Structure 1
Amino acid sequence: MASYVREAARNPFVLKISMLAALGGLLFGYDTGVISGALLYIKQDLGAGSLAQSWIVAGLLLGAVAGALIGGRLADRISRRWTLLIAGIVYVAAALGAALAQTTGQLIAARVVLGLAVGAASAVVPLYISEHTPPRIRGGTVSYNQLMVTIGILVAYLVNFALRDTGDGWRWMLGIGAAPGVVLVIAMAFVPYSPRWLMMRGRRDEARAVLARSRGGDEADAELDEIDSVLSQERRHGLRELFGPRLRPMLIVGIGLAVIQQIVGVNTVIYFSPTILTYTGLDASDAIAQALTVGVTNVVFTIVAVLLLDRVGRRTLLIVGTAGLTVALALLALFFGLGWKDGAPWVALVALVLFIASFAIGLGPVFWLMISEIFPLAVRGQAIAVCSVFNWVANFFVSYYFLQLIDAIGRPATFWLYAGLAVVGIVFFVARVPETRDRTLEQIERELSGGDPAPGAGPSGSAPAAT
């Protein structure tokens, strides 16, 4: 931890632009968290049944699928910076539209537009940060995005708590979401272009000027030469090439991480944690209050992940974290299956906290970090967009069908299903996911595409320990 803090302190420029770009994560985090509390009141005010509630939650996710694809293409065409700025503008307009909605149809439409902005930001923020950051601190720095997501969720829970007993409070809950969008728009006006995007456009002098602010002159030149070498060996790839045999191993890892991150049920916990807590007998107000514990835990353990990713490694945290959330899901299944509601109602909250803590140190940050590391520069924007689309599609299906799954097979079977899928995820991580710690993006590309191992890698391909 200390080594990460020391190294990060030597790069104030990288830290500043990373935190500003990571405000894009705040958009997703706030809107994810706020709907969990607002939904308890929307269903009364607008007369939303289970199906309408599912669409209110899932409308954002449908928009995010399209937003991720559009964001990936825009990131390559007009730059990562301008894509994030446009996403912020769209988000502000849609958040205000959601707050003013008079029918469930209007609310769903506004949340679809919100999803466009959230999906674009989710695809572009990790890409932008990773392309600015030295390998030694890239794990922690790219994870600022996930940290901002968790902070956004916690802020949303606090807003839900503060407004839980006010008339039309859900409108204020949704409308306040415009604020992080405004901040993102302002922030993007002051950050530089990505050096790798500048190199793709043949603007080497500008790329060197950006890199020189976070590296020494010799280190900046060496990195530019490495980027140039990779670009000279690659032609422009379309989606057909992305799905071709050379890039397929990378894509399998990226899509696998994208889908597994969602099918373990994380967003059922985020979107529906107050709803789950009402299953234990709490009323809406008390459930929202207890959900604050989940939000605080999410932030605290994401900070732990930021400090450990460049020390312990991505793969280790991924496996350990997923094992922990599997235990939590089994505990929830036992809670509902054995009727502990009356004898030990606190078990449900403990299980939710364990689940979110385990997710926050593993699947939460590692998925977004690794998809920003493993793909070639020439297709990185499109590849991250494809992985983001799979992530949002999986998110949609899991979130949309959660309440319906509960009705169809019951609460115990639903959580046992998620636990089983988490075990499948662990097997996949052990078999297919590499360690990318302490390597440049170009070294990772060469190794995963079947080229020479990264310099300094051991016989198994693992990187030397970070110092």
Structure 2
Amino acid sequence: MSHGAPANSSSGITLPPLQAGAHQRRLDLIAVIATFGGLLFGYDTGVINGALEPMKAELGLTSVTEGLVTATLLVGAAVGALIGGRVNDTIGRKKALTIVAVIFFVGTIGCVFAPGLTVLLPARFVLGFAVGAASVTVPVYLAELAPTERRGALSGRNELAIVVGQMLAFIINAIIANLWGHHDGVWRYMLAVCAIPAVILFVGMLRMPESPRWLISQGRYAEALEVLLQVRNEDRARAEIAEVEQLAQEEALAQSGGWADLATPWIRRLVITGCGIAAAQQLTGINSIMYYGTELLREAGFSSNAAIIANIANGVLAVVGTALCLFFVIDRVPRRKLILFGFCATTTIHLLITVAATILPAGLTRAYVILFLSVTFVFFMQTCLNAPVWVALSEMFPLRLRGFGMGISVLCMWLTNAALTFLFPVIVGIFGLQGIFGLFVVVGLIALTFLWKMLPNTSGRSLEQLEESFMAGDFR
């Protein structure tokens, strides 16, 4: 059975339509294994939401050290994103993900057995390094294995894995707290769960293929064709290999691939755009809700027990929104249009939360209104922004610069995340919910202006076509 019309190629090579068969199932299996990196990303960033209270009690954390414990992982993620992008360009996407699995395991063990902050903070940094490296490697690996027709949905599965990981963290935290909450060190049990998917990722990646596009960038054409034949029908695989070979030869002449390339105007524009969209995604405040959701709902007016239960709604709506995006939206709506609509929606909801927090008196009515708006924000964020932004980042950079470009962009993302995570409780403490969400409104308007001018549409064309268009100065 055929999957769509032949894909056009600006290089003059016509790509035959995809055919159903064992190769499609092989591609889906690769995606499942690789996205355990996203699951680890989600669990490790979400688990702190429930682990922080018992951790504070056992280790005697102050407000400053509490912020350090939370933000240290994000600083590690920023470093991991920068170094991870270069590493997966150097040794390949498969080897990089295998190493990332080991780092996840080591960081988890360090956190679980940490006697105090002197061990916990470095272990959190190591865990964050793995999160950051996974955040730049998994989307690129999936984008380079995916055919043009399925690239959005396949690459976006990493975002689905992230929000599933966060939801599982919220649920597992609640279960562990109810079963063993009276035990000393219950937060260690919560963190220990992360070791299981780390082992699965390591074992699974040993049997997965390397990215065919990375192999071509290393001149290993026969191996690249062998991989493509695993995940495409034969005529499509041979057509794709010819297209990527042609572009790789052009890139070899251009000597692209590092900091020096920022002197090239079209590359510099892509890197600026990548950094801008990555930072803007974080400045919506989505991760502040995922890290401090329980505390935010207490501030809104819920009791402590009710806030823990209500916070699960954020995790559930994140999964529902991401699934809707991947299965019904991302490959049907142009990436640029979807992202701009997403920023319009989230900025509007921020404005409504600001108004509600300002005019409604304290009580359950205020609490439920803010809960409803909060989960609505999470839903639109996941449907229109999170997966599309990650997919767009994995698509927009040229082949030899893809790891580098992703690394720089995701570095900006994690640094923005770390700064906002550290400042969020401080701003809420001083200015209340209306202060922090009013700030999100202002930032959302700035982001919309920037992206309207700078963001290209990356859907509907092969990675090679996109590169040729950008090189020619066409950023439509």
Match of residue 177 from structure 1: 194
Q: How far apart, in 1, do the equivalents of 2:359 and 2:155 lie? A: 42
Residue in structure 2 matched with residue 256 of structure 1 by the alignment: 276
* Alignment match of 2:229 (pick from 212, 232, 238): 212
The corresponding residue for 2:10 is: none
Aligned to 1:188: 205
**Judging changes above 3 Å, is the alpha-carbon distance between structure 1 residues 22 and 291 closer, same or farther for their aligned structure 2 residues?**
same
Q: In 2, distance between residues paired with 1:83 and 1:243?
A: 28
Q: Distance in 2 between matches of 1:224 and 1:50?
A: 55
Counterpart for residue 52 of structure 2:
39
Q: 1-side partners of 2:39 and 2:313: how far apart?
A: 19
User: Cα–Cα, structure 1 residues 351 and 186, in superposed 2: closer, same or farther, change >3 Å?
Assistant: same
Residue equivalent to 1:341? 362
Query: Is the counterpart of residue 202 in structure 1 residue 253 in structure 2?
Result: no
- Provide the residue aligned with 1:225 in structure 2: 242
Q: Match of 2:349?
A: 328
C-alpha contact (below 8 Å) 2:301/2:366 kept by paired residues: no
Distance in 2, Cα, partners of 1:162 & 1:263: 31
In the alignment, does 2:267 pair up with 1:247? yes
- Structure 1's unaligned 5+ residue stretches are 454-460, 462-467
Question: How far is the alpha carbon of 1:337 from its aligned partner?
Answer: 1.6
Question: Paired residue for 1:281?
Answer: 301
Which of residues 163, 169, 173 is equivalent to 1:160? Answer: 173
Matched to 2:120, the amino acid is L
Cα 1:41/1:281, change in 2 over 3 Å: farther
Check 1:437–1:78 CA distance in 2 against 1; reply closer, same or farther (3 A cut).
same
Distance 1:451 1:209 in 2: 34
SS of the equivalent of 1:102 reads coil
After TM superposition, give the deviation of residue 109 of structure 1 in Å.
1.8
Match of 1:19 in 2: 32
- Partner SS for 2:231: coil
Task: Read off the aligned partner of 1:328 and give its amino acid letter.
Answer: I
Is 1:278–1:284's contact at 8 Å kept on the other side of the alignment?
Answer: yes
Q: 1:394 Cα deviation (Å)?
A: 0.7
Tell whether the 8 Å contact from 1:330 to 1:415 is kept in structure 2 after alignment: yes
| Count of aligned positions | 451
3-state SS of 1:131 partner = helix
| Contact in 2 for aligned 1:67/1:119 (Cα 8 Å) | yes
Distance 1:209 1:7, change over 3 A: closer
Amino acid at match of 2:341: V
Name the amino acid aligned to 2:394: S
How far is 1:42 from its partner?
Answer: 1.7
Quote the Cα distance in structure 2 between the aligned partners of 1:68 and 1:303: 25
2:357–2:366 CA contact under 8 A, matched in 1: no
Deviations 1:136-160 (A, max 9, x none): 0100100010000000001001011
Paired AA for residue 115 in structure 2: Q
- The letter of the residue matching 1:237 is G
The one-character-per-residue Cα deviations of 1:88-111 (angstroms, maximum 9, x if unpaired) are: 111111112212222234322211
Greater helix content:
2
442-451 or 302-311: which moved more? 442-451
User: For residues 71 and 420 of structure 1, what CA distance do their matches in structure 2 show?
Assistant: 32
After TM superposition, the score normalised by the length of structure 1 is 0.92
The reply to whether residue 353 of structure 1 matches residue 366 of structure 2 is no
- Give the letter aligned to residue 304 of structure 1: L
Distance 1:9 1:17 in 2: 16
- 1:8–1:137 Cα contact (<8 Å) kept: no
Q: 2:212 is matched by which residue type in structure 1?
A: P
Q: Which residue of 1 aligns with 2:141?
A: 128
Q: Are positions 1:371 and 2:388 aligned together?
A: no
Would you say the 8 A contact 2:266–2:473 is kept in 1?
no
Q: Which moved more, 1:249-258 or 1:8-17?
A: 8-17
Deviation at 1:451, TM superposition (A): 5.5
Evaluate the alpha carbon distance shift between residue 7 and residue 404 of structure 1 in structure 2; reply closer, same or farther with a 3 A threshold: farther
CA contact (8 A) 1:71 1:385 kept: yes
Q: Partners in 2 of 1:279 and 1:452 — Cα distance?
A: 48
1:119 counterpart = 2:141: no
Contact 2:19 2:232 in 1 (8 A): no
CA shift digits 1:57-77 (9 cap, x unpaired): 110011111111221121112
In the alignment, is residue 303 of structure 1 matched against residue 323 of structure 2? Answer: yes
In terms of mean alpha carbon deviation, does 417-426 or 132-141 score higher? Answer: 417-426
Residues 170, 315 of structure 2: 8 Å contact kept = yes
Distance 1:319 1:451 in 2: 22
Distance 1:242 1:283 in 2: 52
1:164: Cα distance to partner?
2.2
Instruction: Look up the SS of the partner of 1:312 in the other structure.
Output: coil
Q: Tell me if structure 1 keeps the 8 A contact 2:287–2:417.
A: yes
Matching residue of 2:9: none
User: What amino acid maps onto 1:401 in structure 2?
Assistant: L
Per-residue deviation, residues 220-279 of structure 1 (Å, max 9, x unmatched): 222222212222122243212145323122112211111101111111111000010111
Find 2:162's aligned residue among 149, 167, 183: 149
Does the CA contact (< 8 Å) of 2:225 and 2:241 recur in 1? yes
Relative to structure 1, the CA distance from residue 8 to residue 97 in structure 2 (aligned partners, 3 Å threshold; closer, same or farther) is: farther
Q: Secondary structure at the match of 2:177?
A: coil
Q: Decide which of 41, 47, 56 is 2:69's aligned counterpart.
A: 56
1:412 corresponds to which of 434, 438, 448: 434
Q: Deviations over 1:35-67 (max 9, x none)?
A: 011112222222212211111111001111111
CA contact (8 A) 1:249 1:448 kept: no
**CA distance change for structure 1 residues 232 and 58 in 2, over 3 Å: closer, same or farther?**
same
C-alpha separation between the residues in 2 aligned to 1:40 and 1:327? 32
Q: Which runs of 5+ in 2 are unaligned?
A: 5-16
1:8 to partner: Cα distance: 10
> Percent sequence identity over matched residues?
34
